[in-house]
Chains A and B, each alone.
Chain A
Amino acid sequence: MSSTHLHHYWTAFRTIVTKEVLRFARIWVQTVLPPVITTALYFIIFGGLIGERIGEMEGYRYMDFIVPGLIMLAVITNSYSNVVSSFFGSKFQRHIEELLVSPIPNSVIILGFIFGGVARGLSVGVAVLLVSLFFSPLSIHNPLVMLVIVLMTSILFALAGLINGVFARTFDDIAIVPTFVLTPLTYLGGVFYSISLLPEFWQGVSMLNPILYMVDAFRYGSLGHSDFPIAMSFAIIAGFIAVLYGTALVLLNRGVGIRS
């Protein structure tokens, strides 16, 4: 591949990311503000009011324990919903054709949408982090682990959102997965509790939930506590990213949902 091609692809990638960022920034009242308000309510109700009665969780104040999980919850849902709604919206309004007629490789299209989703996931994550400072002091045990885990998680769910967007034919289709799959997995992924509280059988079931490892690794980066080895969490997330990226590439190359 020549340097001219690389330069063109880099420009195209930046264009998609810029467009995606401007898209959610223009409608920040719909995209950034609601998760911040929702999470602030979680902090007040679960962390402040109920948390006071719960006491400690794994040796940490309950409020401090749920902060990393709530940040991850915000990152996961926003990375996903940004890409799924943007990609489906571009199909619905047919401006996906702007990309399809242009000489951008599908890999660059995927990367552009991923980093658009990552931008929103991280923006909301940072906003939630700032809100959490009103309730809990900033706790950073290993900043590199925090950063890499949040980035990888964001990439993973941006990819998942893209695949949902590829298959979606109606607005219902882009709501089903977040409502019936993503939200339950996230809530059962150790955001509000340590899985050591669960009976042994449900601990085993919980370990099939990939979000558990993401929340756990991020909590390690923040508090220094984890239920699983960090290397295992990295490997699981990386594996999911590889599988979802490959799937997304095959789908776009075959034109599923976008070409007749």
Chain B
Amino acid sequence: MTPALEIRGLKKTYKNGFEALKGIDLEVAPGSFFALLGPNGAGKSTTIGIITSLINKTAGTVKVFGHDLDTDLQAVKRSIGLVPQEFNFNNFEPIGEIVVNQAGYYGIPRREAWERCEHYLNELGLWEKRKDMARTLSGGMKRRLMIARALVHEPRLLILDEPTAGVDIELRRSMWDFLTRINTDGRSIILTTHYLEEAETLCRNIAIIDDGGIIENTTMKQLLAKLETETMVLDLSEPPPGIPEDAPVVLRQVDELTLEADIRSGQHLNDLFRVLDQAGIRVQSMRNKSNRLEELFIRMTRNGQSPSHLTPGASGASEQPENQA
């Protein structure tokens, strides 16, 4: 099957000499929900900018569903819907018109454009606000507006650059449901995000980009399998009678009612339960100490010097545009 996206030897050097991409190769299967992760300035936004023809590449090829960016640009553009990282609509325009105009740019007649606009704004809970100026929307509504706008020409590949930045958890989850639904319907999705929990929840495939190069490109399952040790936090209902020292699972006491347990690759939770049972430790609840993908991400990028904001509960500060470099 023709890949949704095929990138070969993609390079980008900005006028100031900054080499943002150093010859990356990337392939995204059709129908996949693909995460493109990387620290700030790694090259994610440059890659997306080139795919969507907002940034000129220095070298390499980009194909979207087999259409070459250099020779069949119009077909590439028709295949892609972009939800950019930063708000890029006219704040002084009603949101219905923003979506309908975008359809018009793709040659969709106005009546049909309004029908599609109604469909997607309804799906994203914005139809009632179609006559409101975009500047009056909340941050979350603005994000949803950009998703509706990106979908109105019904692209086969949707690219979302930090789509849930600054969105509260409830709304984020409803957006996850929506994105999962349209992916299930057959649309390919590429997602960049700082919320690693988001990538782990939504995406089946993942590539990690760092310092202008792809350092990992695999399935989420295979990537997570690389995690050698996973730390679980155990909340106890009563102080433990003692901590077994030679048990197959390493236990540490954090405070009177909290333990940490390191589960190595190849071990099972059953091993932990057995140790706890034998030691007479009564556990009330249990959770991962940190997001598994986050652990891996920090280890793999920039020699473990990952920025502090790359956490599952990050505040959503948006990434600096890489083309400023």
Contact = CB atoms under 8 A, between A and B. Distances in A.
Contact of A260 (B55, B86, B93, B101): B55
A93 B53 CA distance: 18
Interface stretch (A11-19, A35-43, A154-162): A11-19
A53 interface: no
Given A8-B107, A12-B107, A15-B104, A101 B54 contact: yes
Nearest to A26: B92
A95 B90 CA distance: 6
Q: Could you say which of A12, A93, A260 has the most chain B C-beta atoms within 10 Å of its C-beta?
A: A260
B107 A255 contact: no
B122 interface: no
A19 B94 CA distance: 11
Contacts of B89: 93, 95, 98
Contact of A104 (B52, B105, B109, B323): B105
B74 interface: yes
A19 B107 contact: no
A147 to B, nearest CB: 28
A102 B56 contact: no
B131 interface: no
B106 interface: yes
Contacts, number: 87
Contacts of B75: 103
A9 interface: yes
Size category of the B interface is 35 or more
A210 B55 CA distance: 37
A97 B54 contact: yes
B78 A103 contact: yes
A97 B105 contact: no
Contacts of A103: 73-75, 77-78, 105-107
B34 to A, nearest CB: 19
A99 B323 contact: no
Contacts of A259: 53-56
Q: Could you say which of B52, B88, B105, B107 has the most chain A C-beta atoms within 10 Å of its C-beta?
A: B105
A185 B97 CA distance: 38
A238 B153 CA distance: 38
B54 A100 contact: yes
A260 B78 CA distance: 21
Contacts of B52: 101
A90 B77 contact: no
A11 B323 CA distance: 33
Interface string B77-115: 110101010111111110001100110111111100000
A11 B53 contact: no
A102 B88 contact: no
Contact of B104 (A14, A23, A97, A255): A14
A172 B70 CA distance: 36
Interface of B: 14, 49, 52-56, 73-75, 77-78, 80, 82, 84, 86-93, 97-98, 101-102, 104-110, 149, 153, 323
Given A15-B105, A98-B102, 4 more contacts: A16-B104, A93-B88, A102-B153, A255-B56
